[in-house]
Structure 1
Amino acid sequence: MSTFTIFLALIVVVAFLLVVVIMVQNPKGGGLSSSFGGGGTQQLGGVKKTTDFLDKSTWTLATLLLVLILVSNVAISRGGETLDSKALDTDATTTQPLPSTTPLQTTNDDAPATAKDTAQ
């Protein structure tokens, strides 16, 4: 199993967890946090702590996802290809054919009209 495959699997898992954490949140204060502490009674950490946990976990997972994506770029196999520019290679020979030195032949039909041709 290559390193890139491991990074890809981690990216998929973190992205799935991030979607789950975001879907649990409700922008108006409802969602999971209201089911734990709604109605004025304090249960299982209360509303404020659940909201703080969801907010911190969202930022943590988003940061982790970004870092995994950036680090996975290093793990991509390049196939032994060098990253140097071919334009900087002084040993390279050109394989382009040289232009021919024979002039193009023109016929009278292709030549521009002269005053002598128009007088006839």
Structure 2
Amino acid sequence: MSTFTIFLALIVVVAFLLIVVIMVQNPKGGGLSSSFGGGGTQQLGGVKKTTDFLDKSTWTLATLLLVLILASNIAINRGGDTIDSKALDQDEATTAPLPAPLPATNDDATATPADDSTGK
């Protein structure tokens, strides 16, 4: 298993967790934190602590996702130090040769009025 594959799997997992954490939040104070408003959750820390946890986990997961994406760019197997672009290759001529002109034909269909011998 290559390093890039490991990074790719971690990116997918972190992205999924980030989606779940964002979907649980409600910008008006609802969501998961308000559904835990009664019963034994007041003893666990209350609504404010749940909102703080969701906010911190969102920022942490977003930062982790960005770092994993940037680190996966380093881990991509590039297959050597070859230049794949012909635009960057300086050994080749910069101008392409012009195509050869087509041979002229003397058909009646292509005759011009100056070539017309009837005089009309």
* TM-score w.r.t. length of structure 1: 0.73
Answer whether contact 1:25 1:31 (CA < 8 A) is retained: yes
In the TM superposition, residue 81 of structure 1 has moved relative to its aligned partner by 5.2
Determine the structure 2 residue equivalent to 1:86.
86
Q: In proportion to residue count, which structure has more helix?
A: 1
Verify: 1:16 aligned to 2:16, yes or no.
yes
In structure 1, the gaps of 5 or more residues are none
Which residue number in structure 2 is paired with residue 63 of structure 1? 63
Q: What whole-Å deviation, never above 9, does each CA across 1:3-50 have from its counterpart, x for those lacking one?
A: 1001001101101111221222223322221233348x8321111111
Q: Verify: 1:104 aligned to 2:113, yes or no.
A: no
The separation in 1 between residues aligned to 2:88 and 2:8, in whole angstroms, is: 35
Work out which structure has the larger RCO, using CA pairs closer than 8 Å and 6 or more positions apart in sequence.
2
Q: Is the 8 A contact 1:7 1:68 kept in 2?
A: yes
| Distance of aligned partners of 1:29 and 1:107 in 2 relative to their CA distance in 1, 3 Å threshold | same
**Separation in structure 2 between the aligned mates of residue 42 and residue 100 of structure 1, nearest angstrom:** 86
**RMSD, aligned CA:** 3.2
- Identity across matched positions, percent: 78
Q: Residues 60, 98 of structure 1: CA spacing in aligned structure 2 closer, same or farther, 3 A cutoff?
A: same
Structure 2: runs of 5 or more not aligned? none
